[in-house]
């Protein structure tokens, strides 16, 4: 293992305020593992904290990927806009979930929602609808699934179903978790072709109530 230390100034006016950062490079077979740790507002004598973490690093071999490993890989691809790979890993996550049932409610919803959105962005609208429907079967009336179904239907030009699902999303918005909020449909370009229709405006105005 090789460790590279560096100081990063937090305040140009106060040189005593630094973030101590360390990159620990672990070499194993044909792999190089980069572990990055840091301590904000580092003070003299704090080094033992970072050294304790560095000295605890171990290589587990062989290592079997867990359901959360697949979930994190999928998220990495999703947020880097590699939707083809995100679909692959989200599907593997759901496959393990069916076998192990280890995801909590929040992560289970996230997997289904991000998978549906990946299909949507890849323009596989039928698959996207199937995933959001699956989400509604498992988490009854969860509003984000309705909202994203509305987006898909709007993109497909099926504005009747788009408005129906948008109405259901707003109706069930109190079922959101972790302080989430529904997006503002009026600012969503997916609804641009219907945003001036009275039925759309009547639904959206209820979102602020």
Q: What is the pLDDT of residue 75?
A: 96
Residues paired with 28 in a beta bridge: 31
For residue 62, say if its preceding peptide bond is cis, omega within 30 degrees of 0. yes
Report the pLDDT averaged over residues 107-114.
97
Tell me the pLDDT of the chain averaged across its residues: 92
Residue 15 has pLDDT above 80, yes or no: no
The pLDDT assigned to 95 comes to 97
Q: What is the mean pLDDT of residues 83-89?
A: 97
- Is the pLDDT reported for residue 209 higher than 60? no
Question: Under DSSP, is residue 161 helix (H, G, I), strand (E, B) or coil?
Answer: helix
Q: Which of 160, 159, 116, 164 lies closest to 137 in space, CA to CA?
A: 116
- pLDDT band for position 85 (cuts 50, 70, 90): very high
- Backbone angles phi and psi of 36, in degrees to 5: -110, 125
User: How confident is the model over 49-82, as pLDDT tens digits?
Assistant: 999 999 999 888 888 899 999 999 999 999 999 9
Average pLDDT over residues 143-159: 97
Q: What CA dihedral angle connects 106, 112, 115 and 116, to 10 degrees? A: -120
pLDDT per position as a tens digit, 160-192: 999 999 999 999 999 998 888 899 998 999 999
User: For residues 135 and 113, is the Cβ–Cβ distance under 8 A?
Assistant: yes
Q: For residues 77 and 10, which has the higher predicted lDDT (pLDDT)?
A: 77
Q: Which pLDDT value is given to residue 132?
A: 98
Contact 1, 14 (CB under 8 A): no
What pLDDT sits at residue 83? Answer: 97
Q: What is the model's pTM?
A: 0.76
- 24 to 2, 40, 57, 157: CA distances (angstroms): 6, 17, 9, 52
Q: How far apart are CA 73 and CA 193, in angstroms?
A: 36
């Amino acid at each position: 293992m090789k460790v590279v230390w560096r100081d990063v100034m937090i305040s140009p006016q106060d040189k005593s305020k630094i973030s101590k950062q360390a990159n620990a490079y672990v070499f194993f077979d044909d792999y190089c593992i980069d572990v990055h740790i840091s301590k904000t507002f580092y003070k003299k004598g704090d080094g033992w904290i970072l050294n304790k973490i560095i000295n605890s690093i171990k290589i587990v071999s062989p290592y079997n990927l867990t359901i959360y490993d697949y979930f994190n890989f999928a998220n990495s691809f999703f947020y880097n806009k590699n939707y083809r790979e995100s679909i692959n890993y989200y599907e593997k996550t759901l496959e393990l979930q069916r076998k192990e049932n280890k995801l909590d409610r929040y992560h289970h919803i996230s997997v289904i929602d991000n998978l549906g959105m990946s299909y949507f962005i890849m323009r596989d609208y039928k698959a996207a609808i199937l995933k959001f429907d699956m989400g509604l079967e498992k988490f009854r009336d969860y509003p984000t699934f309705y909202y994203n179904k509305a987006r898909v239907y709007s993109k497909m030009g099926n504005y009747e179903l788009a408005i129906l699902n948008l109405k259901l999303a707003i109706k069930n918005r109190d079922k959101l978790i972790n302080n989430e909020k529904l997006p503002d449909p009026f600012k969503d370009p997916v609804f641009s072709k219907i945003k001036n229709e009275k039925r759309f405006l009547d639904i959206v105005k209820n979102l602020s109530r």
